Structure 1
Amino acid sequence: HITIPHQIKQETEMDITVKEIERAKMIKKKKIIFKDNRLLISINVVGSTGPIRFIVKADQTVKDVINSTLSRYGQQRRLPMFSSHCTSSFLLYCPYSPAQPLNPCSKIGSTGSRNFVMCKDPQAENLEVSADTTRKISGKWRVWLKNSVGLMLPLLKPTSHVFGIRIKRFCVPV
């Protein structure tokens, strides 16, 4: 059994308490840092050349991150160009669970990931495709109508020009 002199024993106890106080201060500092936690995230946009990287606060929502990504995507003039920049028509996926998109109201820091994949919502694409199809169909009707009326129009011919302006007077041949 070794006996430690009383004075040395007090100094070691003081060193231990000082170390504990310093450790407590470090923990407090870390908690303060964690309150304003910022993350460097990397988002791969499907069809684009490379990821978009930027810093976000951990308490930002997924919807805000999608909005920031779209604005940076437009600023960098990346391809493919998107016809709509509405945040509701895009989904953000975590690479660890690619089957489910992230909830737009959830916090980006709660996902536990810093890498994401963003793509257009397939349902929103279907709506755009159906609108384009409607336009194409109505365009086909217009072409059909012009062609069918065009068969009757050769009988009607413009008859005069005044000062370079074409006056449409039609005469029907008898």
Structure 2
Amino acid sequence: MLLYNKQKKNQTAKGNRILISVTVLGSAGPIRILANEEDLVASVIDVALKNYAREGRLPILGSDFNDFLLYCPMVGPEALSSWSAIGLLGARNFTLCRKPEEKKVEEGNGRSNSNVNGGGGGRKGGSLKAWINKSFSLKVQSH
């Protein structure tokens, strides 16, 4: 009985612990994490990435939690703030996605790639040709 009381006191001092599932986009299944309700979303992303790497899952993601966003399907389509507590939502299932890459700015004229052909999000001229040349240049040479 004494052991039970100590465990109960320690649990209330730390806060309630919750079991959450984090599904990584493109991975086979969810990662289950035991976290405190007061833990920040950024720390949950960090723990999820470490567990993902420890389990040897594919695709390889990296370890920088700033490159990822955590979504909760029950809340809505926007990503969770990395400074909010994970337990405030009342949800237990989350999705981890890589942040969208920013469009690169050309060095010569300072315009983005989408503005090269007059805006509208069109492709830069010759990008298909460059892709084909690059893919054919990756030939495996025999000895």
Superposition TM-score, scaled by structure 2 size: 0.62
Give 1 or 2: higher helix fraction.
Answer: 1
Correspondence for 2:86 among 105, 108, 113: 108
Give 1 or 2: higher strand fraction.
Answer: 1
**If you compute each CA radius of gyration, which structure gives the higher value, 1 or 2?**
1
Give the aligned partner of residue 32 of structure 2.
Answer: 53
Q: Structure 1, unaligned stretches of length 5 or more?
A: 1-28, 128-135, 144-174
Between the two structures, name the one with larger relative contact order (CA 8 Å, sep ≥ 6): 2
Instruction: Give 1:97 shift.
Output: 2.9
Amino acid corresponding to residue 71 of structure 2 in structure 1: Y
Q: Superposition RMSD on alpha carbons, in Å?
A: 2.7
1:21-100 matches, within 5 Å, as: 33=12, 36-82=15-61, 84-100=62-78
How big is each residue's C-alpha offset from its partner over 1:46-95, in whole Å with a ceiling of 9 and x where there is no partner? 0000000020011000000000000000000001112x321111000011
Superposition TM-score, scaled by structure 1 size: 0.51
Give the aligned partner of residue 16 of structure 1.
Answer: none
Instruction: Give the 3 Å change call, closer, same or farther, for CA 36–120 of structure 1 in structure 2.
Output: same
Determine the C-alpha separation between the residues in 2 that align with 1:61 and 1:54. Answer: 13
Determine the C-alpha separation between the residues in 2 that align with 1:77 and 1:111. Answer: 30
SS for the counterpart of 2:29 is coil
Determine the C-alpha separation between the residues in 2 that align with 1:108 and 1:123. Answer: 25
Is 1:118 matched with 2:96?
yes
SS for the counterpart of 1:100 is coil
SS for the counterpart of 2:49 is helix
Determine the C-alpha separation between the residues in 1 that align with 2:14 and 2:64. Answer: 30
SS for the counterpart of 2:27 is coil
Amino acid corresponding to residue 63 of structure 1 in structure 2: A
> Structure 1 vs Structure 2: percent identity of aligned residues?
39
Instruction: Give the 3 Å change call, closer, same or farther, for CA 94–34 of structure 1 in structure 2.
Output: farther
| Number of aligned residues | 102
Q: Structure 2, unaligned stretches of length 5 or more?
A: 1-7, 105-129, 138-143
Instruction: Give 1:36 shift.
Output: 1.6
Amino acid corresponding to residue 99 of structure 1 in structure 2: P
SS for the counterpart of 1:72 is helix
